[in-house]
Structure 1
């Protein structure tokens, strides 16, 4: 393995670890009932059980990202989850409000 490919691999794992840490954090906040995630789910009209489901999905996705054999599966699952988030933000009109100057 060349030095360049080792550097690329190391960089990729650093980003993967940071992304997994982010999803672990936000998933934990959803599971613990932190004020901001609870308010967001209420604003979108989603039930409390769905917040817990999303929190578990984010934590499981973070764990899948870290294990080399399941990294791709974790990325796909988290990508699908984020598409759902985009859907709810657009449905509420929130995404359109943030783009207006």
Structure 2
């Protein structure tokens, strides 16, 4: 189960690093598309930073054996972001985007639960 948790953590971290960076520093054509969606520039950047920080929080605690509580906390933060994204896309009738967001939401919830209850990461003092 630990291997599965690590696979999920790494895949989600890559996804959210990429997506977060696109929200922080998007290409010009994406800025226009996001602006048309009604998201302000500051909110887009806030979401981007939240995704990048959470992506780091998914993997760094396990690699460094420090702050093991940060991984489930990062998953919780991403749960809030992805639940909001799912609702946002449903309201706008963007069903394919809503399904993608929902899939990521489910993966983040599973990862957070696994790292919180099933195979939690251990800090240095716990070894």
Unaligned stretches of 5+ in structure 1?
1-7
Q: Which residue of 2 aligns with 1:3?
A: none
Q: Which of 54, 58, 62 pairs up with 1:65?
A: 58
> Matched residues in 2 for 1:10 and 1:36: separation?
39
5+ residue gaps, structure 2? 63-67, 100-127
Q: What is the TM-score when the length of structure 1 is the normalising length?
A: 0.78
CA pair 63-28 structure 1, distance change in 2 beyond 3 A: same
Contact 1:62 1:74 in 2 (8 A): yes
- Give the structure, 1 or 2, with the largest relative contact order (CA under 8 Å, sep 6 or more): 2
TM-score relative to the length of structure 2: 0.63
Whole-Å separation in 2 of the counterparts to 1:30 and 1:37: 9
Query: Cα offset for 1:12?
Result: 1.4
Once the two structures are TM-superposed, the CA of residue 81 in structure 1 deviates from its matched residue by 0.3
Match for residue 29 of structure 1 among 15, 22, 26: 22
Q: What's the RMSD between the two structures over aligned residues?
A: 2.4
Cα deviation per residue 1:55-97 (whole Å; 9 max; x = unaligned)?
Answer: 000001101111231110010100100011012111212128x
Please say which structure displays the higher CA radius of gyration: 1
- Cα distance in 1 for partners of 2:41, 2:58 equals 26
User: Structure 1 residue 40: deviation in Å?
Assistant: 4.3
How many equivalent residue pairs? 92
Tell me what 2:80 maps to.
80
Distance in 2, matches of 1:33 and 1:90, equals 23
* Structure 1 runs of 4+ with >6 Å offset: none
